[in-house]
A and B are shown apart, each in its own frame.
Chain A
Amino acid sequence: MAKNWWKIVGAILVIYATAFSFLRPLEPGIIQTDKTELVLGQNTFSVTGYNSHFVDYSSSLQGFLRVDSLRALPLTILDIKDNVHAEFSVNIPADIDKTVLDLFLSNDRTGSIFLPAAFRIDQSKGNPAASNEYTNVAFSSGEEISFEFPFQLRIFDTIRNLNFHVPMWFTMFVLMGLSLWYSIRYLNSDKIEYDLKAASSAKVALIFCSLGLITGSIWARFAWGDWWTTDAKLNGAAVSFLLLAAYFILRKSAEDKPNKAKIAAVYNILSFFMTMALIMVLPRLTGAASLHPGEDGNPAFSSYDLDSNLRMVFYPACAGWIITGIWIYNLHYRISNLKNTRS
């Protein structure tokens, strides 16, 4: 028991991260409006919210369209259909000097929630009625909820996938590094146990690579509309998968050769450095745009990559999956070692 404590830690972290990823709700937010263009004068539109409690807190519900940092146009509530659907009307004055407005709603539960650039104003249409008074922009904070995932446009609930997709790649990198380390040690020592260790860790790395590809592909389909996109990180994923798979084909076809382990170790070292060249060096060199967060051209994540609530699950998930990966590698190595000594 005393030497297995790390396995228990790993299992607890994975269970904690998985449970929190699935069970905790998202922060409230606004998904969409039925119109994206407003005309001068009277307009009505309906809003689709997310966890927005329109009915539960209808007495405190109010909203405005933000013109600039000081001025706002107040909304009138026409109808509240359910907790996530409501209809509003707004009066756009003739002297409006902005063409893009943000939508803000608030009640006592959610605080201020907003949809950036919700409406464009078409100033050539409509008949403006009597002049409209601007109000001040005012934000309110809602009830304190102990733990909520951030609400992000475009990805919504799939933000939970962050706690599965990213740890898979981190685990794969750790196992690939382990495999490299044992391949180098094999070449320097000729001990067959190092070859078995390199093969076992590469096999578990291949499994985690496949899991990373599957979770990433599903997420890409939801957020970007395609199963596979042109992206520097996806090139890295593809090359890691192909090289790890080729490593096992090489091992299999060299099975009866006297220096099988040496061939495999040489190829493993070569492929590790080429993967690193593709993942680490090339994107910086070519300045290839990536859809992944932290890079250009991704409005879904770049404003704030990880908030503190997400971090509380994301870091334990990474640590837990890395420990689990090493655990699986350890078991795999012991099995292949037994097979090897028996034959």
Chain B
Amino acid sequence: MHRVKLHRQILTLIKKDISLEYKSLESLAGMVLFLLATVYTCFLTFKKMPTAEVWNALFWIIIIFSGFNAISGSFKNETGGKHFYLYFLINPKALILAKIIYNSFLMLTLSIIGLAVFALFLGTNVLEDINFLSFFIGLVLTSLGLSGILTIISAIASQLDFKGGIIAVLGLPLLFPLILISQKYSAQALSGVSASGNMNFLLGLLTLNVAVITLSYVLFPYLWRQ
């Protein structure tokens, strides 16, 4: 059955997801529009950002909910007949890794767009001291962790009938550790601390990502074998 090597399977699956996304661009456009709409809501209510702390908190809350919006439908193409087709064709471990990698790139794209939209509407006065490299590293690692947790949660939710509300209930508490670290890390980056000066949180983010991806990797095959 699984004769093709794991990394070839992963690459093929990522390519499949990208071409599917490209074919129906409206879902990607929907995610970006959601981001725009939420940031504009913030602009309407806040006008200008009072402090960097408020900016940071709002930014991460919006990124989390964009993540839910983007990743919750992650397994919508792997149900019913397609599930059986893929079941005999690929290794579930390749599928979960491919989904996590694809979703983390999606999350990273969304958070970069989010950063740009934030700067556009809410002003750049809190970004004056930012250490951009350090902030970007935090963005990459948080995208990876977010997609690691949300992908396995969307795999769980894809097997339920009532998907809408439950994914937030299941996913949000699991995100607490990740959000706590990345919010603290990026608060430091916003005030100009470099990545090497912020090693404590950086290592925490890395460890958490490794733990999350290992757990997803080990647990997903049990969900896949219906």
Q: What residues of chain A have their CB less than 8 Å away from a CB belonging to chain B? A: 187, 235, 238-239, 242-243, 246, 249-250, 253-254, 257-259, 262-263, 265-267, 269-271, 273-274, 277-278, 281-282, 285-286
A-B contact pairs, 17 of them (CB 8 A): A187-B222, A238-B176, A239-B177, A242-B172, A246-B173, A257-B159, A257-B160, A259-B159, A259-B223, A262-B223, A266-B222, A267-B156, A270-B152, A270-B219, A273-B211, A282-B180, A286-B200
> What 7 A-B pairs have minimum CB-CB distances, sorted nearest first?
A242-B173, A277-B177, A285-B204, A278-B177, A266-B219, A274-B174, A243-B173
A271–B212 Cα distance when bound, in Å, is 11
Q: A257-B160, A266-B223 are in contact. List 18 more A-B contacts (CB 8 A).
A: A187-B222, A239-B173, A242-B173, A250-B166, A253-B160, A253-B166, A262-B223, A266-B152, A266-B156, A266-B219, A267-B156, A267-B170, A269-B215, A270-B152, A274-B174, A274-B177, A282-B204, A286-B200
* A263 interface neighbour in B162, B207, B215, B223, Cβ under 8 Å: B223
Q: Does B118 contact A (CB under 8 A)?
A: no
Decide if the interface of chain B is mainly helix, strand, loop or mixed: helix
B196 part of interface (Cβ distance < 8 Å): no
Complex CA gap A286/B198 in Å reads 11
Which A residues lie within 8 Å of B201 (CB)? 285-286
Q: Verify if B169 is at the interface (C-beta below 8 Å from A).
A: yes
Which residues in B have their C-beta under 8 angstroms from that of A267?
A: 156, 170
On chain B, the number of residues with a Cβ less than 8 Å from chain A's Cβ atoms is 30
At the interface, yes or no: B48 with Cβ under 8 Å from chain A?
Answer: no
Residues in chain B near residue A259, CB distance under 8 A: 159, 223, 226
CB of B31 within 8 Å of the partner chain: no
Whether B174 lies near A243 (C-beta < 8 A) is yes
- State the CA gap A230–B223 with chains docked (Å): 37
**Contacting residues, chain A, for B184 (C-beta < 8 A):** 286
In the bound complex, CA of A269 to CA of B218 (Å):
11
Q: Return chain A residues, CB-CB under 8 Å to B181.
A: 282, 285-286
